[in-house]
Amino acid sequence: MRVACLVIPQFIVDVCLRAKPSLRGRPTAVAEGASRRTIACASAAALGVSAGMTPKQARAACPGLTIVARNELAEREATSELLDALEACSPIVTGAAPGSCHFDAAHLPAGENAALGSALAIAGALGFSEAAAAIADDKFTARCAAVTAKSGASVVPSGASAAFLSGLPAALLPLAPGDLERFDLLGLRTLGHIAALPAGPLAARFGERARAYARLARGEDDEPLLPRHAQAIHESRFAFDGSIDRLEALLFALRGCVGTVANRLAGCAQACDRVEIALERSQPPADGCLSIPVGFTEPTASAETIFQLCRIALESREALGSVDAIAVRAVPCSQPLPQLALFDGSRASRRAALAATLARLKTALQRERIVTIQSTPSRSRLPERMQRSIPIESPRDVDDCAHEPTCGQPVIDLRSNHCTGRRVELPTTPTVKPRQAWAPALRLVDPPSRIDPPAARAACAGPFRLSESWWERPVERDYYQLVDAAGAVLLVYQDKRDDCWYVQGVFD
């Protein structure tokens, strides 16, 4: 067996830089976590910044630092893209950790060096500048060769794995915590030292895991290369006898196409997280093909779900013109399909329904306006900071929020829709009582609206003085509960920093 390994050390940062090329050369760090509170990786230019820091700490260390959010979706896509591209080198390609890929290097027609050159060229072409690649008899040896090469290509000759590994540090092994220090104390500093030890006594001291250490150290990694799941695009097309311009007919054809595609997906035990509807049009003014992408919040193979979402997508288009043919293309996603629900009413079914609803809302409204409102009464006394909106990407976000003890029953709030001016609220009651007396009955004006100073004789209660965040973004306000001319009770404040007056909310 011959295995090649491609390693991209700065993969996470590189993915972000691919999305924002203007950041190249500038100190950049990637933050991850629910609130983006932890630095996951930093570019070489970000001196003093290391993984595990908070953004504030990282900025204190490197004043000009740009922090971007980790984009795991983009990483998956980049990995997928990389694996797709590497298939030009070998038919069997697999990804390990982010930024680490293996591919089968046996019987390569152009030779091993050429394959490695191609792999590095592919990585470079995809925007990963510092990559290293190596070929050896097994995955571990190939990875060690790539990691130690740091950049460029290296080949470990067939049958020479043990000799190659013997001089390398033992730290390359996937060691359990504490094992490295103990090996060091015993003078076992290289893979050769560990390979030379009898497996039995080693396992008697370090547990069964030590047998694996010894095997790896001897170049006997027997873990096979699993072929990457083949991804075919499932397509179904329906051509009309003539051009049609009625939605009902289009939907009739769409249902048939979707049913076919869904059956193919189910037959392959696959699911998809997006489909594409192609409308072929030959007559002016809209000749050519109109492609309508439809994304889902969760992978599915349900014909009904796919159809409903596609229907909404078509219905939201104002003019589709005359259509000659319709095609539906589904690209199976890499994530395996969860076990399908057998009976209606199960949790999975409910989640599927929620996913469909969310997808429908996203299709009809702006994606970023679909959020859960988390009540955070202990976070601040400022009305606008007493609640936090969390974008909903998946039905799981709603599930997770529902299980958070501080969150209470989540409120799904569709903030004011700029298109329609409507405000839609799903009626749920927060269980955590806000600290401030005014909070429960307050309808926020977001952002606060500037007003003229109230008349001196205006009926009002106050001032209530709030000053927070003096260390970063100071807020100093004198709040008043003001009765306006129409008799409504408003929450207004005078900002002590700019001396202006604002209305922040209306009491129901």
48 binds another protein (CB under 8 A): yes
Q: Who contacts 382 (Cβ-Cβ below 8 Å, separation ≥6)?
A: 466, 468, 475, 477
* Closer residue to another protein, CB minimum distance, 341 or 460: 460
Based on CB atoms, which residue is closest to another protein, 110 or 461?
Answer: 461
Cβ closer to another protein: 69 or 232? Answer: 69
CB of 246 to another protein, least distance (A): 57
Q: Note whether 60 binds another protein by CB under 8 A.
A: yes
What residues from 293 to 312 belong to the interface with another protein (CB under 8 A)? none
Strand order in the sheet with 370-375: 387-391, 370-375, 411-414, 424-425
283 vs 378, beta carbon nearer another protein: 378
CB of 394 or CB of 467, closer to another protein: 467
Alpha-carbon separation of residue 381 from 72, 185, 466 (angstroms):
34, 56, 8
Q: How far is the CB of 92 from another protein (least distance, A)?
A: 39
Query: Is 472 among the residues that bind another protein (CB under 8 A)?
Result: yes
Q: Is 248 in the site for another protein (CB under 8 A)?
A: no
Q: Which of 20, 418, 435, 450 binds another protein (CB under 8 A)?
A: 435
| Residues facing 280 on adjacent strands | 289, 325
Region from 20-28, 100-108, 184-192, 412-420 binding another protein, contact rule CB under 8 A:
184-192
Does residue 466 belong to the site contacting another protein (CB under 8 A)?
A: yes
Q: By CB under 8 A, is residue 461 in contact with another protein? A: yes
177 binds another protein (CB under 8 A): no
Tokens coding 390: 């969390």
Q: What 3-state class would DSSP assign to 211?
A: helix
CB of 465 to another protein, least distance (A): 4
Q: Is position 463 an interface residue for another protein (rule: CB under 8 A)?
A: yes
Residues 438-457 that bind another protein (CB under 8 A): 438
Quote the least distance from Cβ 212 to another protein, whole Å.
17
Decide if residue 436 touches another protein (CB under 8 A): yes
Q: How far is the CB of 188 from another protein (least distance, A)?
A: 7
- C-alpha 363/C-alpha 294 separation (Å) is 8
Q: Pick the closest to residue 340 from 277, 252, 393, 262 (CA basis).
A: 262
Does the protein bind another protein through residue 187 (CB under 8 A)? yes
Q: Which pair of structure tokens corresponds to residue 112?
A: 């091993």
CA dihedral of residues 436, 438, 443, 448 (deg, nearest 10): -70
φ, ψ of residue 372 to 5 degrees: the values are: -100, 140
Distances (CA, A) of 370 to 98, 361, 389: 30, 8, 9
Nearest to another protein of 193, 209 (CB atom): 193
Site map (CB under 8 A) of another protein, residues 193-222, x = contact: x---xx-xx--xxx----------------
**How many angstroms separate the CA atoms of 219 and 350, rounded?**
50
Residue type, 262: A
Residues in 371-430 at the binding interface with another protein, rule: CB under 8 A: 376-381
Distance, in Å, from the CA atom of 256 to the CA atom of 237, rounded to the nearest integer, reads 9
CB of 205 to another protein, least distance (A): 4
Instruction: Give min distance, CB of 350 to another protein, in A.
Output: 34
Q: What are phi and psi of 303, to 5 degrees?
A: -60, -40
Give yes or no for residue 467 binding another protein (CB under 8 A): yes
C-alpha span between 82 and 97 (Å, rounded) = 13
Which of 319, 344, 347, 470: binder of another protein (CB under 8 A)? 470
Angle at 368 between CA 362 and CA 373, to 5 degrees: 100
Integer-rounded Cα radius of gyration of the chain: 30
Among 239, 289, 426, 437, indicate the residue that binds another protein (CB under 8 A): 437
Q: Which of 7, 180, 186 is nearest to 86 (CA)?
A: 7
Query: Which of 1, 23, 36, 54 is the binder for another protein (CB under 8 A)?
Result: 54
Return the number of the residue (307 or 479) whose C-beta is nearest another protein. 479
Cβ neighbours of residue 300 closer than 8 Å, sequence gap 6 or more: 271, 272, 273, 306, 352, 355
Going by C-beta distance under 8 Å and a sequence separation of 6 or more, which residues neighbour residue 153? 113, 116, 117, 119, 120, 132, 133, 134
Stretch that binds another protein, among 42-50, 225-233, 324-332, 416-424 (CB under 8 A): 42-50
> Which helix (H) or strand (E) covers residue 313, if one does?
helix 303-315
**Residue 221 burial (CB count, 10 A):** 22
Among 20, 182, 246, 497, binds another protein (CB under 8 A): 182
Stretch that binds another protein, among 192-200, 267-275, 285-293, 321-329 (CB under 8 A): 192-200
Site residue total, another protein (CB under 8 A): 47
- The pair of three-digit structure tokens given for residue 105, joined into one six-digit string: 């290097």
Residue with tokens 């820091």: 53
Residue 322 Cβ vs another protein, minimum distance, rounded to whole Å = 59
How deeply is 32 buried, as exposed, middle or buried, from its count of CB atoms within 10 A (0-12, 13-18, 19+)? middle
| CB closer to another protein out of 238 and 438 | 438
- Residue 188 interacting with another protein (CB under 8 A): yes
Contact status, residue 311 vs residue 287, Cβ threshold 8 Å:
no
Query: In whole angstroms, how close is the CB of 439 to another protein at the nearest point?
Result: 10
Hey, what are 40's tokens? 């996951």
Task: Give me the residues that bind another protein (CB under 8 A), please.
Answer: 47-49, 53-54, 56-57, 59-63, 182, 185-188, 193, 197-198, 200-201, 204-206, 376-381, 435-438, 461, 463-468, 470-472, 478-479
